[in-house]
């Protein structure tokens, strides 16, 4: 039994295992005057912005981003608080991504 366990462990380690985290696809709608405050909240939560576009006929920006699920707790409340209720967020579970080594070690210069 120990030999099987050791063989399985060696095979797993050969494939270079990595830690992954769940990501939300986040659609944010905010007026122009609250855009910088919305970006402040998004950057504190380790979100990765994909695109930003202005809605035609309205003074609203739509921002698409990926937000780690672990960072999403209290996100909508903080967003509303920082933008005085002007911004709204729609979150949908999207994918899993490998965790960067700088998140694990705290070293921003970590090489993968």
In this structure, of 23-27, 78-82, 102-106, the range with the lowest mean pLDDT score is: 102-106
Read off the pLDDT band of 2 (50, 70, 90): confident
Read off the pLDDT band of 95 (50, 70, 90): very high
pTM: 0.76
User: Residue 69: its pLDDT value, please?
Assistant: 93
Task: Answer positive or negative: Cα dihedral of 90, 67, 86, 80.
Answer: positive
């Amino acid at each position: 039994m120990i030999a099987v366990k050791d063989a399985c462990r060696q095979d797993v380690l050969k494939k270079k295992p990595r830690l992954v985290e769940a990501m939300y696809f986040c659609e944010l709608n905010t007026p122009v005057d609250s855009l910088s405050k919305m970006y402040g909240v998004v950057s504190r939560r380790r979100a990765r912005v994909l695109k930003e576009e202005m809605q035609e006929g309205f003074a609203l920006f739509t921002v698409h981003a990926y937000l780690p699920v672990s960072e999403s707790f209290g996100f909508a409340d903080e967003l509303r608080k920082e933008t005085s209720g002007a911004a709204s967020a729609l979150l949908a579970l999207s994918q899993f991504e490998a965790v960067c080594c700088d998140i694990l070690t705290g070293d921003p210069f970590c090489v993968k």
